[in-house]
Chains A and B, each alone.
Chain A
Amino acid sequence: MTTRLDTSFAALSDATRRGVLEQLGRADASITDLAEKFHMTLTGMKKHVGVLEQAGLVTTKKIGRVRKCQLGPRRFEEETAWLERYRQRWDERFDELDRVVEELTRKDEER
């Protein structure tokens, strides 16, 4: 779980790779298609797809001489769930803090 999250975060930290995921969310594409779309060399795109593949976000298979890419079994959800849990914890805490601070601020002004 931990290493999977790490590779996913690393994979998602790049704008091109996020773009590739968005693109593949609409339709499967070959590495050549993606390289053209993102104005990159084939080698550059292969590297990006490799990172996404390692993170399980993309799968590729060779059909004839073309390597087709599609979204992998894992999506953004797992990563966002992690952040959301973290956020909720702090959000609740800060809601309570807000209550305490508002009360003290009122008292302060009355003085």
Chain B
Amino acid sequence: MTARIESEPGPMKNRTTVERKSDREVVVTRTINGPARIVFEAFTKAELLKRWWVPKSMGMTLLSCEVEPRVGGKYRLVFDHGGPEPAAFFGTYVEVKPYSRLAWTNEEGGEGGPVTTVTFEEKGGKTLVVLHESYPSKEALDAAGTGAADAMVETFDQLDELLVALGESSGQ
């Protein structure tokens, strides 16, 4: 219904789409090149989650990552983001259906945190991941998209692009 944005697919790279479904909901979709079982494991095993949840360009280092993927189980990720104190992101799993569905709360911000629901749908050896973030209020959602952390992301994006460009020009 509302504004929708898609990325240009590069070679071998699938499209990530983001759609703001309503005042307080955002849906992100992406096809991942692998079976649902493996994608689900990458979401629910700490040693795998660690490897992708915090891309380098975010400018944060993951200090620890604990996950207990069962209904009522907790997760906790601690980051060093260059500030005086590390930042912790934590919450509770509210749905865990192996290889098809996951949902968790985001409690680090107190009451205002979203509930994240992820579904995994396998088709021809690839998996469509649909990630739905539902915020308790529209104010909370707007804040999530306009925070200082995003400015950081953009800065590091540019740095990343620069590094790629430098890597290419040095004959990699």
Which residues on A are within 8 Å of B, measured CB to CB?
A: 1-2, 5-6, 9-10, 12-13, 76, 79-80, 82-102, 104-105, 108
Contacts and interface: CB of A to CB of B under 8 A. Distances in A.
A82 to B, nearest CB: 5
Contacts, number: 118
B139 interface: yes
Interface residues of B, number: 46
B34 A2 contact: no
A79 B3 CA distance: 8
B14 to A, nearest CB: 7
Give the secondary structure class of B's interface: mixed
A95 B23 contact: no
Give the secondary structure class of A's interface: helix
Contacts of A100: 42, 48, 51-52
A101 B14 CA distance: 13
29 contacts: A1-B146, A5-B146, A6-B138, A9-B2, A9-B20, A9-B23, A13-B2, A80-B5, A83-B3, A85-B145, A85-B150, A86-B28, A86-B144, A87-B17, A88-B157, A90-B131, A91-B16, A91-B30, A94-B14, A94-B32, A96-B51, A96-B55, A100-B51, A101-B33, A101-B42, A104-B38, A105-B34, A105-B38, A108-B38
